[in-house]
Amino acid sequence: MPIDMSTSRPRTSDTPAPAPAGRRRHDDAPDTAELFARLAALEDGPEREAVRDELVTVWLPMAHRIAGRFRDRGESLEDLRQVAALGLVKAVDRFEPERGAFESYAVPTITGEVKRHFRDRMWALRVPRRVQELRNKVRVARRELTQTPGSAEPTLTELAAHTGLTEDEVATGLEALESFSALSLDAELSAGDDGYSLADTLGAADSSYDTVIDRESAKAGLRRLPERERAILYMRFFEDMTQSRIADQLGISQMHVSRLISRSCARVRAEVLGDRVNA
């Protein structure tokens, strides 16, 4: 449903309804109880869509106010208003008139939609929700502990005591505070003539680790081979001797040496793969 974002005043002459006990109500909150009752009674069709559009329009200023609370957080106000408007549409669609005042239901629904937008769309990398929540708790605690002018930056222990989190959780939250956006791999890390980029600091996979793992995995299988077959493999792969030279040294044919090497390697390989499958 298209939403006219330029709407700034409700299109209704209804007077504001009394505020529920203990809850603040905005002066321009429209009384739409009759419209919601009518919406609930209508079947899907043009008339229902018209009533739904009217409800969204008259409550749109409230959605804009909620969006305004999240300004200056890296997202344009216009985009935030669109997100809040989407939350308003969801609130209108899901509201059940018999459950109370619409404003009481719509405010947390719209606020939640805006917060989800920041959680899901604004992080450069996908961060688990638990880490995002830790970040928010640590951010609020830092602000509260430094409200007094001249206050020192709170320590890990002070933040943990203030939030009720463990020091490890606070450390995770602090790390997430610095991880909202990501640097390009081409970002320059030094301004000098010998400057280097972030990509220059990243390591690469070392194939030697795989070789070490393979050797360690093959040790047990090699120990179980007959002594002559172990000797043949040692001469072939560690002393780099040819099959013909090995045959001459052992007094057997080159073809027999070839068969023994193939059989020994196949046996060790089967044992290693079997151990990995059963692990």
pLDDT in tens, the chain (279 residues): 444 444 444 444 344 444 444 344 454 578 888 888 888 888 889 999 999 999 999 999 999 999 998 887 767 889 899 999 999 999 999 998 888 889 999 999 999 999 888 776 666 566 677 887 888 888 888 888 888 777 788 898 999 999 999 999 999 888 877 766 666 777 776 656 666 777 777 777 777 788 888 888 888 888 889 999 999 999 998 899 999 999 999 999 999 999 999 999 999 988 888 766 565
Residues near 181 by beta carbon (within 8 Å), at least 6 away in sequence: 74, 124
| Residue 20 within any structural domain of the chain | no
Single residue among 121, 156, 191 that ends a domain in this structure? 121
For the domain that residue 162 is a member of, what is the CATH number? 1.10.10
Question: What's the predicted TM-score (pTM) here?
Answer: 0.44
C-alpha torsion 242→247→253→254, nearest 10: -10
Q: Within this chain, do residues 222 and 258 fall inside the same structural domain, yes or no? A: yes
pLDDT at 15: 40
Q: Supply the range of the domain harboring residue 139.
A: 129-180
Count of beta carbons in the 10 Å neighbourhood of residue 17: 15
Tokens 């193939």 found at: 262
Q: Within this chain, do residues 115 and 136 fall inside the same structural domain, yes or no? A: no
Please classify residue 240 by burial: count the beta carbons closer than 10 Å to its beta carbon, then call 0-12 exposed, 13-18 middle and 19+ buried: exposed
Q: Within this chain, do residues 94 and 133 fall inside the same structural domain, yes or no? A: no
Give the C-alpha separation, 81 to 114, whole Å: 9
Q: Within this chain, do residues 116 and 151 fall inside the same structural domain, yes or no? A: no
Q: Within this chain, do residues 85 and 136 fall inside the same structural domain, yes or no? A: no
User: How far is residue 46 CA from its own chain's centroid?
Assistant: 40
Give the C-alpha separation, 98 to 120, whole Å: 33
Number of domains in the chain: 3
Single residue among 80, 96, 121 that ends a domain in this structure? 121
| Residue 73 within any structural domain of the chain | yes
| Residue 156 within any structural domain of the chain | yes
First-to-last alpha carbon distance for the chain, in angstroms, is 55
| Residue 12 within any structural domain of the chain | no
Structure tokens at 189: 């890390």
Q: With H, G, I as helix, E, B as strand and everything else as coil, classify residue 197.
A: strand
The answer to whether residues 85 and 63 touch, using CB atoms and an 8 Å cutoff, is yes
Q: Within this chain, do residues 139 and 109 fall inside the same structural domain, yes or no? A: no
The answer to whether residues 102 and 32 touch, using CB atoms and an 8 Å cutoff, is yes
pLDDT at 233: 92
pLDDT at 261: 93
pLDDT at 126: 66
For the domain that residue 227 is a member of, what is the CATH number? 1.10.10.10
